[in-house]
Amino acid sequence: MGWWPFKRRTENFENDPHVRSTKMWIQDLREVCERSFDDRSAGQNRVKGVQADWRKSHADGELGDSQLEGLERRAKLLLDADDSGWKRVLDDEEFWKAGWGSTMER
């Protein structure tokens, strides 16, 4: 019976892997930092962990060069911060927006 509407499809669907956006990476970075708001050294260690994840994502071709560059700029600022700089950066809402520090803003 060819008219049966509930026939199982025979074609294979390619399941594209989920590619994370820059905003998601920034959100993850922010969450990691805010968990260690009062403990800068622990927060910086967690930043290094997230940084390793996005570098792997870039190596796998899931993250573009410009996106990686923006994330790396944020990580450098966070990793180089002292205690007061750490809290100041975490409180800066502009820092957590996509496009922060890009050459187009300067």
Calpha distance 1→23 (Å, rounded): 50
Report the C-alpha gap between 36 and 40 in whole angstroms.
6
Cα 93 to Cα 98: distance, rounded to the nearest angstrom: 11
Cβ-based neighbours of 73, under 8 Å, separated by 6 or more: 100, 101
pTM above 0.85, yes or no: no
pLDDT per position as a tens digit, 52-93:
999 999 999 888 999 999 999 999 999 999 999 999 999 999
Give the pLDDT confidence of 19-57 residue by residue, as tens digits: 678 899 999 999 999 999 999 999 999 999 999 999 999
